[in-house]
A and B are shown apart, each in its own frame.
Chain A
Amino acid sequence: MDEFIIRALIAGIMVASVAGLLGVFIVWRRMAFFGDTLSHSALLGVALGMLFNVGFTIGVLASTLLVGLILYSFQKQKRVSNDALLGILAHSGLSMGLIALSFVQAQNTNIEEWLFGDVLSVSWSDVYFIAVIMLVIVIIMRWLWTPLLTLTVHDELAKVEGVNTNLVNLGFVLVVALLVATAMQIVGALLITALLIIPATTARNFAKTPEQMALIAAFIGVLSVIGGVYASFWYDVPAGPSIVMFSTALFFSSHAARRLL
């Protein structure tokens, strides 16, 4: 087996399993559009990271956290509805990112790589970096799990019971931002949300507890990555979209299977 496939599989499996862990919360909290907003506007972060020469990860983290803060500060007003605001930020971030990237075109960037990812081109140092980031996310999530679940069920009840809801929400935005920054390389800015919500929604069919649902979602994400990476290698189709197609196939077949059982 070629080494680049092994690298792609390792990187993809790590990102997809952590995406399953976070994706269940995105589904429970109905934040699919929020995931889109963070990942689309992350393209601006990529461009900024390159322009200021600090690396795209730092750029993406900065832009995602900025978007998170803007959303948070707008939450208290009622004149602009939340989903309109998400749409505005998603597409303005994407547009600004595309414009900014056109300035760095000279340094041979391929915009498509950022939009749809290129998992087959990850290097060993990318793999190590992704491993560290995923470990950080898992550690934060371990600490965040119960308060975040409490908050997801009912946020006023959680507040009265002593959950620091601002801190927990901020922590969650941070881990999603970290995931977006790394998943950019695997499935690209436009498809990250798919990695978050499709495995999680599929897992609902089989789970009896929140933890089961997260683990099953992670497992389904891993299966999708394996399928997608191999399809991409054998049939020479783009890897990111293939991964998403595999998880979609699993989603529909799980529904069919459930109906038969």
Chain B
Amino acid sequence: MMNSDKEIATLKHVSLRHGSRQILQDVSLTVEAGKVLTIIGPNGAGKSSLLKVLLGLQKANSGEVKLRDGLRIGYVPQSISIDNNLPLSVHRFVALGGSGSVSEVLSLLKIEHLSNTAIQLISGGEFQRVLLARALLRKPELLVLDEPAQGVDVMGQGELYEKISTLRNHYGFGVIMVSHDLHLVMAKTDQVICLNQHICCHGVPADVSRHPEYHRLFGDMPNSGLAVYTHHHDHTHDLHGNVVSDDHSDCHHG
């Protein structure tokens, strides 16, 4: 079993509805300090909503959200557009996030050259780094990332996940992220949750990638040969609470 003082954020039996539409159903999960938890799932599976419930931006209809007292959270939201009428440099944008040293986080992410550039003029990939810099400025204990590699080219994606992983090792924060980039993410994550309104399967990447529910959700994707990326840490983690039944109808929802 996991050590309970390492748990920094927990969801217990969380359900969320919008009108008659079920967004999340009986979702439970735990984020541990220093561990990366990745949520994968098809479009409309409720991945972003799950993060919003965790962050307190959206109230669940039932269930419980528990964050450690005074938990400092760094958040990288999915997409941001900033009005052209607002004259704002990258430096100032990052500084709005808190009181840390902006130039330090900018150089940590190798974007110090953008410091004086207007925030509206940088590329999508650069923006993701800027958002990450702002999240890091807060010296977070939990990093919440919603599709952090959006708009980043394939080379950059690997680099970005690598960066998140090194930073995690260095600062020891917990990470929960939503991602589409299955094979890239799988290499750098400790736990994976397959979400399709409810949790279809979860565990260490190697096990999840062999799980029938995983193949049912992602089997048609090219390059699903994930065994190559077996995580070198996975012997240190238990597979806990394993898993939903093999009944494939489990993942069908109205």
* A230 CA / B109 CA spacing, docked (Å): 55
Interface residue ranges of A12-53 to B (CB < 8 Å): 27-30
Known: A156-B77, A159-B57, A160-B57. A150 touches B85 (CB 8 A): no
Least distance between B66 CB and chain A CB atoms (Å): 17
- Interface-located stretch among B86-94, B159-167, B207-215: B86-94
> Which residue of chain A lies nearest to B86 when distances are taken between CB atoms in the complex?
A28
Q: Decide: A157 and B86 in contact? CB cutoff 8 A.
A: no
Known: A154-B77, A156-B77. A161 touches B97 (CB 8 A): yes
Q: Decide: A201 and B85 in contact? CB cutoff 8 A.
A: yes
B173 within 8 A of A: no
Which residues of B pack against A, CB within 8 Å?
Answer: 52, 55-57, 73, 75, 77, 80, 82-83, 85-89, 92-93, 96-98, 134, 138, 144
Known: A149-B96, A153-B96, A161-B97. A210 touches B57 (CB 8 A): no
Q: Decide: A209 and B87 in contact? CB cutoff 8 A.
A: yes
Give the chain B neighbours of A28 by CB distance below 8 A. 83, 85-86
* A27 CA / B85 CA spacing, docked (Å): 7
One of B56, B86, B97 near A210 (C-beta < 8 A): B86
Known: A159-B57, A160-B75, A161-B97. A154 touches B89 (CB 8 A): no
* Chain A window 206-247, contacts with chain B (Cβ cutoff 8 Å), 1 for yes, 0 for no: 011110110000000000000000000000000000000000
> Which residue of chain B lies nearest to A208 when distances are taken between CB atoms in the complex?
B87
> Which residue of chain A lies nearest to B116 when distances are taken between CB atoms in the complex?
A208
A105 within 8 A of B: no
* A156 CA / B144 CA spacing, docked (Å): 13
List 5 extra interface pairs beyond A28-B86, A156-B55, A161-B138, CB under 8 A: A29-B83, A156-B75, A160-B56, A161-B97, A204-B87
* A204 CA / B84 CA spacing, docked (Å): 9
Give the chain A neighbours of B82 by CB distance below 8 A. 153-154
Q: Decide: B86 and A152 in contact? CB cutoff 8 A.
A: yes
* A28 CA / B82 CA spacing, docked (Å): 9
A: interface residue count bin: 20 to 34
> Lowest 7 A-B CB distances belong to which pairs?
A160-B75, A150-B96, A28-B86, A207-B87, A27-B85, A204-B85, A28-B83
One of B57, B92, B97 near A156 (C-beta < 8 A): B57
Give the chain B neighbours of A30 by CB distance below 8 A. 83
Interface residue ranges of A173-221 to B (CB < 8 Å): 201, 204, 207-210, 212-213
Q: Decide: A157 and B77 in contact? CB cutoff 8 A.
A: yes
Q: Decide: B55 and A160 in contact? CB cutoff 8 A.
A: yes
* A129 CA / B87 CA spacing, docked (Å): 34
A102 within 8 A of B: no
A to B CB contacts below 8 Å, 10 in the list:
A150-B96, A153-B93, A154-B80, A154-B82, A157-B134, A161-B97, A161-B138, A204-B87, A208-B89, A210-B92
Least distance between B135 CB and chain A CB atoms (Å): 9
Give the chain B neighbours of A213 by CB distance below 8 A. 87
A121 within 8 A of B: no
A146 within 8 A of B: yes
Known: A154-B80, A157-B75, A160-B73. A209 touches B96 (CB 8 A): no
Least distance between B97 CB and chain A CB atoms (Å): 6
Q: Decide: A153 and B73 in contact? CB cutoff 8 A.
A: no
Give the chain A neighbours of B55 by CB distance below 8 A. 156, 159-160
One of B57, B88, B98, B138 near A153 (C-beta < 8 A): B88
> Which residue of chain A lies nearest to B19 when distances are taken between CB atoms in the complex?
A78
Least distance between B114 CB and chain A CB atoms (Å): 15
Q: Decide: A212 and B85 in contact? CB cutoff 8 A.
A: no
Q: Decide: A209 and B92 in contact? CB cutoff 8 A.
A: yes
Give the chain B neighbours of A150 by CB distance below 8 A. 96
Q: Decide: B75 and A153 in contact? CB cutoff 8 A.
A: no
> Which residue of chain B lies nearest to A159 when distances are taken between CB atoms in the complex?
B57
Least distance between A56 CB and chain B CB atoms (Å): 33
Give the chain B neighbours of A160 by CB distance below 8 A. 55-57, 73, 75, 144
Give the chain B neighbours of A152 by CB distance below 8 A. 86
Give the chain A neighbours of B57 by CB distance below 8 A. 156, 159-160
* A29 CA / B92 CA spacing, docked (Å): 18
* A255 CA / B239 CA spacing, docked (Å): 64
Least distance between B122 CB and chain A CB atoms (Å): 14
Least distance between B249 CB and chain A CB atoms (Å): 33
Known: A149-B96, A154-B80. A210 touches B75 (CB 8 A): no
* Chain A window 139-167, contacts with chain B (Cβ cutoff 8 Å), 1 for yes, 0 for no: 00000001001101110110111000000
